[in-house]
């Protein structure tokens, strides 16, 4: 099994119920849902974000494959939390680079970041609509394996989980209909019409 030992050890210590699911190599939660033939709402993607200014802070954000992150909504949620803590407001939210992931989340493959922020001392956000599903699929650190777990067990593993709404429906690509050009074929002339044309031509030649 190619799942990093750090993740396996973390799951075993938590004593939570989970299942490892093997599948073909995928790099997005959307492709995972298609591969495992399951609803997009139970295939969860983990995004790594950074806030700035005044200070650069990093966090994990978990949303389902059928949704996109609403950065403005998340920024407002973070600022509410920061206000309670007496911190300064965040002005901007961005995604981290692949280089940052390789340096700070060592051993985790791009497109397969696990959702356990407490493993790296990072805040973990999760879309509240995810808790409506009895089972969900998370990244495992490897693109060919996923973690199947209940939202309640996941909450046990990440006790400081921040549950809220900060996503928007993912826009589906419109299918472009191919317009077939209809070429009108000329109808073949009937025998009688052909004969008439020939007789007319003959008369003209005689003249």
pLDDT digits (tens, 9 = 90+) for 62-91: 999 999 999 999 999 999 999 998 888 999
pLDDT digits (tens, 9 = 90+) for 8-41: 999 999 999 999 999 999 999 999 999 999 999 9
CB–CB of 145/4 below 8 Å?
A: no
Edge-first strand listing for the sheet containing 18-22: 18-22, 145-149, 136-139
pLDDT at res. 157: 95
Whether 184 has a pLDDT exceeding 70, the answer reads: no
Q: Is the preceding peptide bond at 54 cis, omega within 30 degrees of 0?
A: yes
Whether 55 has a pLDDT exceeding 90, the answer reads: no
């Amino acid at each position: 099994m190619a799942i990093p030992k750090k993740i396996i050890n973390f799951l075993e210590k938590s004593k939570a119920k989970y299942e490892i699911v093997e599948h073909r190599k995928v790099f997005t939660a959307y492709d995972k849902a298609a591969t495992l033939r399951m609803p997009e709402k139970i295939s969860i993607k983990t995004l790594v974000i950074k806030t700035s200014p005044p200070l650069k802070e990093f966090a994990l954000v978990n949303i389902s494959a059928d949704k996109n992150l609403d950065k403005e909504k998340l920024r407002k949620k973070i600022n509410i939390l920061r206000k309670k803590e007496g911190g300064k407001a965040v002005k901007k939210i961005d995604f981290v680079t692949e280089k940052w992931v390789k340096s700070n989340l060592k051993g985790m493959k791009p497109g397969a970041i696990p959702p356990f922020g407490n493993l790296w001392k990072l805040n973990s956000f999760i879309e509240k609509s995810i808790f409506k599903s009895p089972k969900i699929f998370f990244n495992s650190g490897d693109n060919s394996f996923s973690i199947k777990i209940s939202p309640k067990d996941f909450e046990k593993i990440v006790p400081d989980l921040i549950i809220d709404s900060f996503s928007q429906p993912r826009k589906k690509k419109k299918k472009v209909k191919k317009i077939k050009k209809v070429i009108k074929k000329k109808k073949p002339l009937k025998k009688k019409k052909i004969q008439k044309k020939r007789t007319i031509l003959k008369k003209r030649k005689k003249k």
